């Protein structure tokens, strides 16, 4: 699948997929990488070393710094795939140096599948195994 690059690089790993938006501030514990938002479909799951797939981010602009904190604490996802990356997630991914792409139908990615991303300066290729 072709995608738009938000932050370039290569990443591969197991997909952790949410059909719901993710709010990083108050939604993911920056020290553990565990989703703590009550009632969220990923509640209790850890984003560490996953290819985190979700439609878009939600909530406070502080979410950008939570993404950076996840990376600093060694519990960040390997990459982020969105249907549409908004400013909060884009800023966080860039600050943290996390591969980030968007512009794809995330319904085609199932939880637990193996995903490879090759993201150039503008375009990315996503392979699902």
* pTM for the structure as a whole: 0.97
What does the pLDDT read at residue 37? 98
What does the pLDDT read at residue 85? 98
Nearest to 72 by CA among 90, 98, 53, 46: 98
Domains held by the chain: number: 1
What does the pLDDT read at residue 87? 96
Q: How confident is the prediction for the chain on average, in pLDDT?
A: 98
What does the pLDDT read at residue 107? 96
Q: Which two tokens stand for residue 77?
A: 């996802």
Catalytic pick from 10, 18, 60, 64?
60
pLDDT single digits (tens) 13-28:
999 999 999 999 999 9
Residues 11, 49 contacting (CB under 8 angstroms)? no
What does the pLDDT read at residue 69? 98
Nearest to 53 by CA among 121, 96, 99: 99
Q: Is 60 a catalytic residue?
A: yes
pLDDT single digits (tens) 27-44:
999 999 999 999 999 999
| 3 state DSSP class of 39 | coil
**Residues near 34 by Cβ (< 8 Å), separated by ≥ 6?**
28, 44, 45, 46, 47
Residue numbers of the domain that contains 43: 2-128
We report the CATH number of the domain holding residue 13 as 3.50.30.10
What does the pLDDT read at residue 70? 99
């Amino acid at each position: 699948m072709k995608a738009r690059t938000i932050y370039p690089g290569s990443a591969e790993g197991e997909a952790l997929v949410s059909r719901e938006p993710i709010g990083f501030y108050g939604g993911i514990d920056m020290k553990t990488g565990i989703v703590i938002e009550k009632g969220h479909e990923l509640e209790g799951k850890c984003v560490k070393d996953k290819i985190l797939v979700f439609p878009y981010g939600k909530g406070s602009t502080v979410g950008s710094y939570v993404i950076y904190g996840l990376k600093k604490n060694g519990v960040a996802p390997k990459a982020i795939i969105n249907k549409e990356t908004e400013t909060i997630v884009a800023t966080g991914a860039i600050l943290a140096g996390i591969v980030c792409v968007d512009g794809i139908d995330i319904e085609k990615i199932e939880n637990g599948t193996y995903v490879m991303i090759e993201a150039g300066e503008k375009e990315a290729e996503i392979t699902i195994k």
